[in-house]
Structure 1
Amino acid sequence: MLGLCIVPAMAADSSTTVEGQLGVTDVAIDPGVFMYGDSGTVKVTVTNTGTMPVAIARAKLYSNELDVMGDENYGSVGSIGPGNSLQFTFTIVADAADGIYYPLFYLDLRDASSLRYRVPVKVENTGLSVSVNDRPDAFTSGKKEDVTIMVGNPRENTVNGVVITPMLNGYDTTETSHFIGTLSPDQAADATFSVTPYSETPMEFTVHYRNGMNDHEVTTAVPVTFGTDRKQAEIVLNNIVVTPEGDYYIITGDVTNAGLEDAKSVQVTTGSPAVPVDPYRSYVVGALEPDDFASFEVTFSAETGTENVLLITDYKDKDGNLYSSQLTLPLSSAVLPGKSSSGAGDELPVVWIVIVIICAAAVAGVIYYSWKKK
């Protein structure tokens, strides 16, 4: 049985036998270590190692510190035959402070002799240790995050039936509970919950467990503060060029993930007053890993007199939450076809053309003069 404590008979502080044939051979205590208010059992096994039966009048367990119940069942026991054993079970309640107590097992024999044996019972009120092993730097309302709860057993005995249950006060979880089961002394186990907060209310998780037959629980709280997660994906647009093309405009550029998590379903398009038109109403980039980038191209039309348009970038995280960012672009920055972004054309200025003509004429004159002189 989990939490059972076996105490060898030789560990008692006093024991007598009848004609060397009757003695305590085993003591089992459950739970092995009591918590304050716990109920449990003390089972004492008496064995007759002689050749003659021994008559027993009654058996009792005495304690000044612990409540003992059930000893009225042994008011008339009978005899233990040669080579046989008899187990006496007592129920006790640990309503005492932490410490080690020694209830006295007393066996009253019919021949006016008796058997006495002290049973060590330990009371220690330390419960399980619960801590938050992992959580995000900041929470976002409506965004699913992982929170890991770790449970450790600092007690000297095994506890069983360990279950972690979220309280659901202002948040949802994918898991309704997590079963850990048995925890041996100095053993720890953790459980991860996928949580979605909706308010800045602390998340509470309750750990239920049993010490022997007794139910216990301990609760821990995870503070919730909404903010920006430093690890989430961060979309950055650069190298943007706006070019007029007939009755519509073309925007080209690069989109980069400057965050620490993947950006899923990245898509670039334009917003009002721009009107997306074919061939690239929107440009689907797809997934971008951290530090990854991709080029994009979108096309749109705008009414005469429009000064600015919006460039919109949408993406999702691993849980499907949608994020969006906007960038305002002035149409005055549009680059005419055949022009560079600085406004310089591909054609040479007139002054340079004149200089080239003059230089060419001078060279031709020198050549002609030299030829005529010959």
Structure 2
Amino acid sequence: MVKKSAAAPRGSIRRRAIGCIASALILILVLNGEGVEVLTGSFQDIGEIGPGQSFPLTFRIRAPGEAGVYFPEVWVSVRDAAGVRYPVPVNVNSAYALIKKPALRVERSVPASVDPGDPFNVTLTLYNEGGASASDISVSINATSGAITAGNSENYFIPELGAGEETVLNLSFETDTSAPLGLTPILVTIDYRSADLATFRQVATIGVPIVGRAEMGIASIRTEPSRITAGDPVDLTIRLENTGTADAESVRATVEGLSLPGTKEAFLGTIEPGNDGPAVFSLQASEAGEFDYTLTIQYADDYGAHTTRQALQVVVSSAGAEGRSPSRS
């Protein structure tokens, strides 16, 4: 309730914008007074809000001089979608109190990222921010992607949640290695009753960030000629493969510690999951012997920059002797 006075006091309305199933680009959000003077109530170019995401907004108003119940509306303009209007009741020193009803709010705790194939946990906290108890509360969990499955129950029942009370649900999920990358929504449907047996339903969204991880290694090693003799020019081709679940970007291979002269760095660019690419080094077999070296592979993915190293060896035979193929040490 906002009390009136001769000075017509100010008040504030704090609302929480809730995301939907798909990302939404919010252009304008305005509080339309409807009998209430709005002091600060316009927000522009708020930006994009993804599934399950939310942010708080605060409006300042001046209470009217007359008692009563007023319903200013929050108007939301979304790009390429229908606008939303949401009434907010404001009781100004009125003897007619609004009927007390339950009002459930959902908070989610989600991992910052989930790698395809890994399990993950989500914590749901249900708050009753209304003025009355909610009863016969049923919570249904529905993953919108077949690559995500519930690891425990998909349905929960809460007999009663009093005004100002909260309860916690701990959920576990499994992901498939083929889970598509990006923000994947999981729907949470909540049904409940008020004291007068009126039914309510609300749908919340859990946005799960599926972020793959690249994993680079050696697929094969080949030299041309296959048997190297001292004095030969040699093309050393090392195929690098990505066995991970995300693109490996800025892939670079470097030969270190090899005493044979030649080009010892190759840039491969981006290698997608399940693919490989050649790193070609042109060398001169200036002398015979067994030459140890290290292949350093540098690449990046959504988790940052990575470096992996592999100890290898190339064998050069003396002129007139039978050579051997390069090997890993």
TM class, shorter-length: 0.3 to 0.5
TM-score calculated relative to the size of structure 1: 0.35
Specify which structure has the higher proportion of helix: 1
Structure number, greater radius of gyration = 1
